[in-house]
Structure 1
Amino acid sequence: MSESHAKNSILRSGPERLLDAAGVSVDRMPMLHVIFDRMAAQCSENLRQLSAAPAFFSVDAIGTKRIGDVLDAYEGNVVIGIFHVQAWDSRILIGLDHNFVFALAEALFGGDGGEAPTVEKRQLSNLEIRLAQKTFELLGNALQGSFATVCDTQFKLERVETRLDFAVIAPRNTFGVNAKIKLRILGRSNEMFVLIPQTALNSVRQHLGRDLSADMSVRDPRWTKQIKTEIGRTEVAVRGVIEERQFILADIASLKVGQVFALQATTKTRVKLECNAQPLFWCNLGQADGVYVLRVDEFVNQQQEFIDDVLSH
C-alpha cells in the first residue's frame, strides 16, 4: 500500500468506513448509470466502424458485490484486462467471457453467424488473446471518456490475464461496483463486466452522487446553433503518413548522425491521412504549384486496419 493510500485510509471518517464495509448502493451514485450507458454507446459506435455485422452494447445490470463473488462466477471462462487508474491510486478490471471473444473474432474476420457457436470449453488461442488485448484498449478508452465528466484521468491497460489467481486488485472480501454489459452480435448475446473496487471511487463519490435531473435546463436553440457554428470553425491538424517502420530499442540506441533509412514507398504509394492518430483517408501524392498535395482516394477501412494491427503483434 502506498504512503498516500495509507494516509487516506487513516483520515477517512467513521461513516465512510461503515459504508465501505457494508457496500454502498449504486442508487447513491446515480452518475454511474450515466457513465456506463455512455460507455456502452461509445463501444457500439466503435464496433460498428470495425465490423460489418450489426453490433450493440447495452448495460445489463449495475450493482455492488464482493469482488471474490464476481470473479468466482467467471472461473475458467474469462480473460481479464487490468487497468491502472492513477488519479484513484487504484486498479480496475474489465473481463470478457470466452464466448464474447469467440463471437467478436468471428465477426471481425468475416463470419456471418451461419455456423453454430463454439460450445466446447477451451483456452483462448494466442490470436484470440491479442484480439482481446486490442478490445481492452478500445474499452478502456471508452470508459475513460465516459468518466471524463467526473474526473480527468487515464485508464492505462497494464496487462492481460487468463487466470483469476493473478487478477488481484483488492481483497476478495471487499465490495466493488460490478457492471454487466451485453454485446449483441451475429444473433448472439455475449457478456463482459467492469469491476471497480468501492474504495477506488471514494475520491469521486460526491460527483457520482450528483442528481442529473437538477442539472437539466431548457435548451436554447440560438445558443445551440452558435455552438455548432463555432465547432465547425475549429482548426484540426492532419498528417500524411507515407510509410511506417517498427524498431526495437536496440535499433534506436544504435542510431548515428547521418544514418539513412531506405523507404519502400514510391511515387505511386498511397498516403494515409490521419487526424489525432485516427486514420481517415487513403490519398494519392502529387504536386501542384511547387508544393506537395494529397488527393483523397477512399475512406480507410477501419475493420481491416484493426485486424492488421492484431495480426502484426
Structure 2
Amino acid sequence: MSESDTTARRSDEAGSTLIDEIIRMSDFTFDRLPMLDIIGDRMVENLSVALPDLMRAMCEASLASLDYIPMGKVIEGLPKPTFLAVGTGHPFVGEILVVMDQAVLMTAVELMLGGNAKNVDLDNTDPFTAIELGFGERLASAVFAELERSLSVVGAANLELDRIETEAEGAAIAKNTSLCARLRLSLTLAGNTGNLDLVIPYDALEQILPDLGKVYFGDRMVSQDQWRGLIGAQIERANVDLDVVLSENVFPLQKIMSWRPGDTIDFGIEEGRDATVTCADTPMFNVSLGKRNNGYVAVQITEKLEILEDHEDDGNDN
C-alpha cells in the first residue's frame, strides 16, 4: 500500500469518527448552559485561594474545557488508578462526581504531609493506599465546599461528600446514555500539573436549568477580598532577615585606615546591655543581651518600637 493510500485511509477513518460523533450527539436534546462557564471560572478562583491554605503551596488553576458528553464516555476516559468522589445535596437532583487524576492527588498528598512533591511518582499504576485515599477525601471535601460557594451565583447550595470510589463502576451516577456536563479544571501544584473533573448529569440540573440558561456575572468583590486574604496569609508566612545592632561607635577615619588583621577593637558590649533589632534597616524592637544555658547569645525583647512613616511635605507652612 502506498503512502498516499495510507494517508487517504487515515483521513477517511478520522472523517468517519467525526461523523459518528456528530450523529451520536444529535441524539441528545439539550441547551448549552452559559452559567456553567461562569461557575467554572468561580471554581478556578476559589480553588486558587482554598488549596494553598490546605496544602501550604501555591496553586495555579484554569478552566480547561466544558464538555457535554454521555456518562459512558466519562467512564471510558477515567484515569488509572482511579479516584472518584461522589457528592450530593441541593440544588442537584441526584449525585455529582469529582474525578482526580494521579498527578493532582499524589502531589496534594505529598504537600499535605509536609513534602515538596519533587519526587512524586506519577508512573505508578498501583491502586491508591488507604492513607492516600484519606488525604484525597480531605481534598475532595474542599472541592465540594468551593463548588458550593461557586454556585451562589445562581442560588443557595448545600453540598457534601457522600463517598469515595476507586473502581469505574462507582462512577455510574447516571445511565451510560445520559448526557453530562463535564468541567475540566487544570491544576498546577508544586510544578506538577494534572486534571480535576467535575461531572454533573444533565438531569441533576433540573431545578436550576432556567437559572443556568441566563448570563449573570454577579458581584466580584467577594473574590477580590479572598485574594487580599490569600496575599496577607502568604506575607505572614514569609521569611525575613533580622539584624541585632549590638553597638554603634564612632572612630576617626585615620584610625580605621590603620587597622590590620589581628587588631582588637573593644566595643564595650556586656551581658544585659540594650541593643536594637532591625528589619530592612528599620528599627523594630529594643532588646536586652544575655546567654542561654547552652552558651549561645540571645536577646530578650523589652520594647516594640513604633514604625514612623515619612510623609511628604504638603507645602503648607502655616
TM-score by length of 1: 0.58
Which residue identity does 2:41 align to in structure 1?
D
For 2:164 and 2:195, locate their aligned partners in 1 and report how far apart those are by CA, in whole Å: 17
C-alpha spacing 1:48/1:166, structure 2 compared with 1 (3 Å): closer
For 2:51 and 2:173, locate their aligned partners in 1 and report how far apart those are by CA, in whole Å: 28
2:134 aligned with 1:130, yes or no? yes
Deviation at 1:24, TM superposition (A): 2.8
2:52 aligned with 1:70, yes or no? no
C-alpha spacing 1:43/1:173, structure 2 compared with 1 (3 Å): same
Q: How does 1:140-289 map to 2 (within 5 A)?
A: 140-212=144-216
Name structure 2 gaps, 5 residues minimum. 1-24, 226-318
Identify the match of residue 79 of structure 1 among 80, 83, 88. 83
For 1:114 and 1:77, locate their aligned partners in 2 and report how far apart those are by CA, in whole Å: 20
Structure 1 runs (4+) deviating above 6 angstroms are: none
C-alpha spacing 1:23/1:186, structure 2 compared with 1 (3 Å): farther
Q: Which residue of structure 1 lines up, in the alignment, with residue 99 of structure 2? A: 95
> Once the two structures are superposed, what CA deviation does each residue of 1:24-65 show, in whole Å capped at 9, x if it has no partner?
35xx31111111111121111111113333212211101100
Q: Which residue of structure 2 lines up, in the alignment, with residue 9 of structure 1? A: none
2:116 aligned with 1:112, yes or no? yes
Contact between 1:61 and 1:179, CA under 8 Å: does it hold in 2? yes
Provide the aligned length of Structure 1 versus Structure 2: 198
Q: Which residue of structure 2 lines up, in the alignment, with residue 50 of structure 1? A: 54
Q: Which residue of structure 2 lines up, in the alignment, with residue 279 of structure 1? A: none
Deviation at 1:116, TM superposition (A): 5.5
Which residue identity does 1:64 align to in structure 2?
Y
2:31 aligned with 1:22, yes or no? no
Q: Which deviates more, 198-207 or 138-147?
A: 198-207
Deviation at 1:169, TM superposition (A): 1.3
C-alpha spacing 1:165/1:116, structure 2 compared with 1 (3 Å): closer
TM-score by length of 2: 0.57
Deviation at 1:20, TM superposition (A): 10
For 2:179 and 2:93, locate their aligned partners in 1 and report how far apart those are by CA, in whole Å: 17
SS in 2 for 1:50: helix
C-alpha spacing 1:22/1:139, structure 2 compared with 1 (3 Å): same
Deviation at 1:85, TM superposition (A): 2.4
Contact between 1:23 and 1:64, CA under 8 Å: does it hold in 2? no
> Once the two structures are superposed, what CA deviation does each residue of 1:140-196 show, in whole Å capped at 9, x if it has no partner?
010011112213231121111101213321101111000111110121111110000
Name structure 1 gaps, 5 residues minimum. 1-18, 229-313
C-alpha spacing 1:24/1:129, structure 2 compared with 1 (3 Å): same
Contact between 1:64 and 1:178, CA under 8 Å: does it hold in 2? yes
For 1:87 and 1:54, locate their aligned partners in 2 and report how far apart those are by CA, in whole Å: 31
**% identity of equivalent residues:** 21
Which residue identity does 2:118 align to in structure 1?
G
SS in 2 for 1:119: coil
For 2:133 and 2:209, locate their aligned partners in 1 and report how far apart those are by CA, in whole Å: 34
Deviation at 1:110, TM superposition (A): 2.5
C-alpha spacing 1:186/1:87, structure 2 compared with 1 (3 Å): closer
Contact between 1:98 and 1:124, CA under 8 Å: does it hold in 2? no
Deviation at 1:115, TM superposition (A): 2.2
For 1:21 and 1:147, locate their aligned partners in 2 and report how far apart those are by CA, in whole Å: 29
SS in 1 for 2:73: helix
For 1:29 and 1:211, locate their aligned partners in 2 and report how far apart those are by CA, in whole Å: 9
SS in 2 for 1:39: helix
| Greater length-normalized contact order (CA 8 Å, ≥ 6 residues apart) | 1
